């Protein structure tokens, strides 16, 4: 059985796979276009970019692909409104937003007739999103990388959200194989979002050192850290993380050079700075956000090969079992 298609508003992706919008500068034009060319939905990570750089990537992705291209952006950013409006002006196909909730974004996208897809972690948030006009919701469970809205498993939260709303529900967090896709769709999801597998692809904009660090990770190397955004985040253990977790909360904080990237910031460190350092290969001083199952990925593959394997695994997982005798 082939992968099903995914319908969000007037958009149709021939394969029900959304590529995670991984910041900073992991998911850029090249990766988003490659995913779109395989029939999935490619997302450019807008968080940490300025509007001109985002526009440049949107235009580049559109030149490289005729498929579905969207952006993923954190509501917590001071640049949130400017980034969303810049993407709308470029006629982006859809907007995905997490790390906060923005009623304004529903309005902006509705006025432009562009699907808005919030990332949610509860039935309450999913129902509110539907009432405000969301075209779909992405349910992100605790297995996901980056900022987390819940510490409950994707598989535990998914059934309740599917039952609570009539719009497409896209399962995210811990989705790695075609078998996982089959499980999510079997539970009522309309599609899935995959991050970690695409982060370790040939088209990912992460440095080779970033990808190699993920591929040698053991389960115990994947930890929860407290982000300046005010949310827990799933990350890979590193010298920076060890230093962060050893800090006494009552001890005087090191002075952080603030670029005012967040509307509200705990100022325990600069999230944009450490994510950029890691993306560029500085693992000593950088932070790698990653999914819970990152250590299961042992190869850097092309997006085309990733999709080939997902389709093959999905087919095996959904193939009827023959019985004889």
- Going by C-beta distance under 8 Å and a sequence separation of 6 or more, which residues neighbour residue 225? 232, 233, 235, 241, 244, 245, 287
Sign for the pseudo-dihedral over CA of 129, 14, 204, 221: positive
Question: What is the average pLDDT value for the chain, to the nearest integer?
Answer: 92
Give 123-182 pLDDT, tens digit per residue.
999 999 999 999 999 999 999 998 888 899 999 999 999 999 999 999 999 999 999 999
What domains does the chain contain, in order, with CATH numbers?
6-205+298-312 (3.20.20.70), 208-294 (no CATH)
Average pLDDT rounded to a whole number, residues 31-52: 97
Closest C-alpha to 16, from 274, 192, 208: 192
Sign for the pseudo-dihedral over CA of 57, 18, 117, 45: negative
Burial 315-324, CB ≥16 within 10 A → b, else e: eebbeeeeee
d(CA 319, CA 182): 10
Contact indicator for 142, 150 with CB cutoff of 8 Å: yes
d(CA 154, CA 172): 7
Whether the predicted pLDDT of 244 surpasses 90: no
Average pLDDT rounded to a whole number, residues 83-91: 97
Give 114-128 pLDDT, tens digit per residue.
999 999 999 999 999
d(CA 97, CA 301): 27
Quickly state the pLDDT bin for 256 (edges 50, 70, 90): low
E strands of the chain, at which residues?
6-8, 11-13, 17-19, 41-45, 68-74, 94-98, 116-120, 137-140, 146-147, 169-172, 191-194, 222-226, 232-236
DSSP lists the bridge partners of residue 193 as: 18, 172
Average pLDDT rounded to a whole number, residues 224-253: 79
Closest C-alpha to 79, from 120, 20, 23: 23
Q: What is the pTM of this model?
A: 0.92
């Amino acid at each position: 059985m082939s992968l099903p298609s995914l319908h969000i508003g007037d958009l149709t992706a021939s394969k029900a796979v959304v590529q995670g919008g991984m910041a900073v500068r992991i998911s850029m034009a090249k990766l988003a276009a490659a995913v779109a060319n395989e029939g999935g939905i490619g997302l450019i990570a807008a968080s940490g970019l300025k509007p001109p750089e985002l526009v440049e990537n949107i235009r580049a992705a559109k030149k490289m692909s005729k498929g579905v291209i969207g952006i993923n952006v954190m509501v917590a950013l001071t640049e949130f409104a400017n980034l969303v409006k810049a993407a709308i002006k470029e006629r982006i196909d859809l907007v995905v937003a997490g790390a906060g909730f923005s009623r304004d974004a529903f309005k902006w996208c509705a006025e432009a007739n562009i699907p808005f897809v919030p990332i949610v972690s509860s039935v309450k948030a999913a129902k509110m999103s539907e009432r405000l006009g969301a075209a779909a919701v992405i349910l992100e469970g605790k297995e996901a990388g980056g900022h987390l809205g819940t510490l409950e498993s994707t598989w535990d939260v998914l059934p309740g959200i599917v039952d609570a709303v009539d719009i497409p529900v896209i399962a995210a967090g811990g989705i790695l194989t075609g078998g996982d896709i089959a499980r999510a769709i079997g539970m009522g999801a309309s599609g899935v979002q995959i991050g970690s597998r695409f982060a370790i692809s040939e088209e990912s904009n992460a440095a080779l050192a970033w990808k190699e660090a993920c591929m040698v990770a053991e389960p115990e190397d994947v930890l929860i850290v407290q982000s300046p955004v005010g949310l827990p985040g799933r990350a890979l253990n590193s010298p920076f993380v060890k230093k962060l977790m050893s800090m006494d909360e009552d001890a005087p904080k090191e002075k952080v050079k603030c670029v005012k990237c967040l509307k509200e910031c705990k100022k325990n460190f600069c999230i944009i700075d450490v994510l950029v350092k890691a993306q560029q290969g500085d693992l000593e001083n950088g932070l790698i956000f990653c999914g819970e199952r990152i250590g299961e990925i042992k190869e850097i593959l092309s997006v085309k090969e990733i999709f080939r394997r997902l389709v093959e695994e999905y087919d095996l997982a959904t193939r009827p079992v023959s019985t004889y005798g």
